[in-house]
Chain A
Amino acid sequence: GAGVSQSPSNKVTEKGKDVELRCDPISGHTALYWYRQSLGQGLEFLIYFQGNSAPDKSGLPSDRFSAERTGGSVSTLTIQRTQQEDSAVYLCASSLDSPGRSPLHFGNGTRLTVT
């Protein structure tokens, strides 16, 4: 597809379960970000991948959160032992080059609800 694709678009899970969120960036984009957006809030940075460099994980809120990017393309954000405060929209974005040279393109997000 032409844009950033995220799946699933909605996920409802029970507290304590693990979830995996997937992001397919635009083909050829080297930079990939994950953000979290709670209701009525701005975007909270989670993690940043740039090419083959080690990812910047400084925004991950706890060790229950992890992300990987296989083959420099698809990325998966995993949340283990979900808590109710993890409920939010998780947005993925990619850019052709390092940010500052080209803008980020966002996916439609995954709305996670932890019951």
Chain B
Amino acid sequence: EDKVVQSPLSLVVHEGDTVTLNCSYEVTNFRSLLWYKQEKKAPTFLFMLTSSGIEKKSGRLSSILDKKELFSILNITATQTGDSAVYLCAVLSSNTGKLIFGQGTTLQVKP
């Protein structure tokens, strides 16, 4: 059965800290991995990763994929209170076409 596991489930840091969120997966015929940020309502897209070792970067956020070890990390540097959210990882299997989400990591950034 396809599975996506995120860790930690929750995290509390102070502004300025750097955080690393983890996502490991087991899927048949991996196609891509996506990261989303969910604040109050709709998850918003952050990154899509399909190739190993190529870092995607957007401002203070970056992510990389390791297809050999079957995981991805999402890094946030110099965290701000506005980074407080649930971060969701999802993996697409080309077999099924469906996108499987992990449980999410709840990040709280304190002033």
Contact = CB atoms under 8 A, between A and B. Distances in A.
A19 to B, nearest CB: 19
Contacts, number: 62
Given A91-B42, A103-B34, A108-B41, A50 B97 contact: yes
Contact of B45 (A33, A103, A107): A103
Contacts of B41: 108-109
Interface residues of A, number: 25
B65 interface: no
Contacts of A59: 98
Majority DSSP secondary structure for residues of B touching A: strand
Contacts of A4: 42
B103 interface: yes
13 contacts: A41-B103, A42-B102, A43-B88, A43-B101, A56-B98, A58-B96, A58-B98, A98-B97, A103-B34, A104-B34, A104-B99, A107-B42, A109-B41
A58 B50 CA distance: 25
Contact of B101 (A35, A48, A99, A109): A35
